[in-house]
Amino acid sequence: MPAPDRIVRLNTVLARTGLSRSTIYRKIAEGTFPAQIRISINGAGWWESDINRWVADPVRWRPGEEGGNGG
């Protein structure tokens, strides 16, 4: 049974990707980086599995591959 997917916050994404905050948001707008998910009124994060897939192959990553929660 696979481990449950976690939601990671911006600081974790910055550390894992090596990208700057502005680059991450630019890439989200371009569709070349996983979009955030809303976790509260003022909070957002990313599915860890989506970030892992992007880190594994940033050039070929596409938004349709997002699934979150192990999907």
Summarised one tens digit per residue, pLDDT across range 34-61 is 999 999 999 999 999 999 999 999 998 8
Q: What share of the chain is helix, strand, coil (3-state, %, to 5)?
A: 40, 10, 45
Does 63 fall in a domain?
no
Does 26 fall in a domain?
yes
β-strands 37-38, 7-8 pairing: unpaired
Does 69 fall in a domain?
no
State what percent of residues in the chain have pLDDT above 70. 86
Does 54 fall in a domain?
yes
Tell me the residue range of the domain where 21 lies: 7-58
Number of domains, the chain = 1
Does 19 fall in a domain?
yes
The answer to whether the CB of 17 falls within 8 A of the CB of 25 is no
Does 71 fall in a domain?
no
pTM equals: 0.81
Does 11 fall in a domain?
yes
